[in-house]
Chain A
């Protein structure tokens, strides 16, 4: 490990970033759904309703089900938030300002994404409720078929950097951003990233046709925590996309950190708007697409960018 920031400083900072990110996602979601719904944007509501709803959930009592696996039920949201925090800790705001920069940052991030499916499965399995378990299995199919395209799409960004460290990946984009260098990369990454953070069109585990899927039994604080953990995961995916493909801190006039935040916000808006404009995909059809279309495209992406480098 090459810890760029002392632990006692990095941990609270990442925590703060996660909380702010969750709030930003909630606000964006509210605003965009108002716009898509043809309503008028009232900034007071957009800004405060997330807080109020959160407070409402906190003041609710928690209900339980018949013979749940209580430790697992409590663990699942915590695990998902921890994964999001871990992934966010890899995102550098500048050449030196980064919470953690292991040499194998890419592998660490991928491991965090891979563990999302464990968190979701735990969350769906533990309440001992049918639709929740149903959603958990769906996500099993979804996430297992997303793993390989995700790894390949991210792996392509490590080729120009000749390193697995996220900081080096950004350093290598000084002259040319990966989004230009690998035009296939960002779209692939976004599709797979939305799937991995099960948002919008790929929200199969918590889908409406399962009446909420894995979250069907959550109430009060548990529901709040799960929702926040999902949003945090989305922020992590967006931030890593901005880092790996949009050149991280590189950008004229403004300080690097601002650029990272701006790019992350842009990606967040894109992802959340997609969630309100694209219908939910079919499980079976999507799995077929993931194996038969996304993997070949990702391989092509890697081969091309490798050939360009040689």
Chain B
């Protein structure tokens, strides 16, 4: 079997896997499983990027996501009630609307592929992708690249400033209250 065939089969598998795991994220009670499913979905997308020729992007996506998902899992276990999903729960609102929106957005995007006929201009030398990206990063798009870096730095500083226990206006716990879940109590408060 040829390399092209292998690539197609792999791509199909990754596509199926990414969508299924992405769907499972919202179908499991356990926050931890949700995080791991999302990670699997990301890894599959990374695999697809690699097959599409964007080797660097795909690997970087996978690399990024490992740490990100771990943080996400830890945050969920910290803050969410019943993180292990040991007792069944249904933490969902406006379900029908959400389903409708999801399906319609899927149809919209998918139909684009058939309504619009895109320019047939395949990437002729995918093996050069990484080199080109590097030259682009430190060449014409240097400004964009730097901006992204500064943006990330600003995000880090801001995140620490917001999340730290002592904010600009003194200790964050001051006047902290837990709002009630039931509407009538909330109306009262």
Tell me the smallest distance from the CB of A130 to a CB of chain B, in Å: 12
Asked if B154 is at the interface (CB within 8 A of a chain A CB), the reply is no
Given A2-B127, A114-B66, A117-B66: A108 and B59 within 8 A (CB)?
Answer: yes
Report the stretch among A50-58, A99-107, A201-209, A231-239 that lies at the interface.
A99-107
Report the stretch among A41-49, A118-126, A250-258 that lies at the interface.
A118-126
Asked if B19 is at the interface (CB within 8 A of a chain A CB), the reply is no
Given A72-B36, A164-B130: A107 and B70 within 8 A (CB)?
Answer: no
Tell me the smallest distance from the CB of A271 to a CB of chain B, in Å: 23
Asked if A264 is at the interface (CB within 8 A of a chain B CB), the reply is no
Asked if A1 is at the interface (CB within 8 A of a chain B CB), the reply is yes
Asked if A286 is at the interface (CB within 8 A of a chain B CB), the reply is no
CA gap between A69 and B73 in the complex, in Å: 15
Asked if A147 is at the interface (CB within 8 A of a chain B CB), the reply is yes
Tell me the smallest distance from the CB of B40 to a CB of chain A, in Å: 10
In contact, B70 and A1 (Cβ under 8 angstroms):
no
Total contacting residues, chain B, CB less than 8 A: 23
Asked if A137 is at the interface (CB within 8 A of a chain B CB), the reply is yes
CA gap between A146 and B22 in the complex, in Å: 29
* CB proximity to B under 8 Å, residues A84-127: 102-104, 107-108, 110-111, 114-115, 117-118, 121-122, 125
In contact, A104 and B66 (Cβ under 8 angstroms):
no
Asked if A63 is at the interface (CB within 8 A of a chain B CB), the reply is no
Smallest CB gap from A103: residue in B? B130
In contact, B36 and A103 (Cβ under 8 angstroms):
no
Smallest CB gap from B30: residue in A? A69
In contact, B70 and A144 (Cβ under 8 angstroms):
yes
Asked if B60 is at the interface (CB within 8 A of a chain A CB), the reply is yes
Which residues from chain A contact B56 at a C-beta distance below 8 Å? 103-104, 107, 164
* CB proximity to B under 8 Å, residues A132-182: 137, 140, 143-144, 147, 164
Tell me the smallest distance from the CB of A223 to a CB of chain B, in Å: 22
Residue among A69, A107, A117 with the highest chain B CB neighbour number at 10 A = A107
Asked if A282 is at the interface (CB within 8 A of a chain B CB), the reply is no
In contact, A103 and B55 (Cβ under 8 angstroms):
yes
In contact, A125 and B32 (Cβ under 8 angstroms):
yes
CA gap between A69 and B30 in the complex, in Å: 10
* CB proximity to A under 8 Å, residues B105-121: none
Tell me the smallest distance from the CB of B7 to a CB of chain A, in Å: 10
Asked if B86 is at the interface (CB within 8 A of a chain A CB), the reply is yes
**Which residue of B36, B59, B71 contacts A104 across the interface (Cβ within 8 Å)?**
B59
Which residues from chain B contact A111 at a C-beta distance below 8 Å? 59, 62-63, 66
Smallest CB gap from B50: residue in A? A1
CA gap between A122 and B127 in the complex, in Å: 35
* CB proximity to A under 8 Å, residues B47-73: 50, 55-56, 59-60, 62-63, 66-67, 69-71, 73
Asked if B39 is at the interface (CB within 8 A of a chain A CB), the reply is yes
In contact, B39 and A104 (Cβ under 8 angstroms):
no
**Which residue of B32, B36, B59, B67 contacts A144 across the interface (Cβ within 8 Å)?**
B67
In contact, A118 and B59 (Cβ under 8 angstroms):
no
Asked if B15 is at the interface (CB within 8 A of a chain A CB), the reply is no
Which residues from chain A contact B67 at a C-beta distance below 8 Å? 114, 117, 143-144, 147
In contact, A118 and B66 (Cβ under 8 angstroms):
yes
Which residues from chain A contact B74 at a C-beta distance below 8 Å? 137, 140
CA gap between A147 and B32 in the complex, in Å: 21
Which residues from chain A contact B33 at a C-beta distance below 8 Å? 69, 72
Tell me the smallest distance from the CB of A141 to a CB of chain B, in Å: 9
Which residues from chain B contact A117 at a C-beta distance below 8 Å? 66-67, 70
Residues of A within 8 A of B (CB): 1-2, 67, 69, 72, 102-104, 107-108, 110-111, 114-115, 117-118, 121-122, 125, 128, 137, 140, 143-144, 147, 164
Interface pairs (6), CB distance under 8 Å? A1-B50, A1-B55, A107-B59, A107-B60, A111-B59, A144-B67
New A-B pairs, 11, CB < 8 Å, besides A103-B55, A128-B84 = A104-B55, A107-B56, A107-B59, A107-B60, A110-B63, A114-B66, A114-B67, A118-B70, A140-B74, A143-B70, A147-B67
**4 closest pairs, A vs B, by CB?**
A114-B66, A107-B59, A111-B63, A111-B62
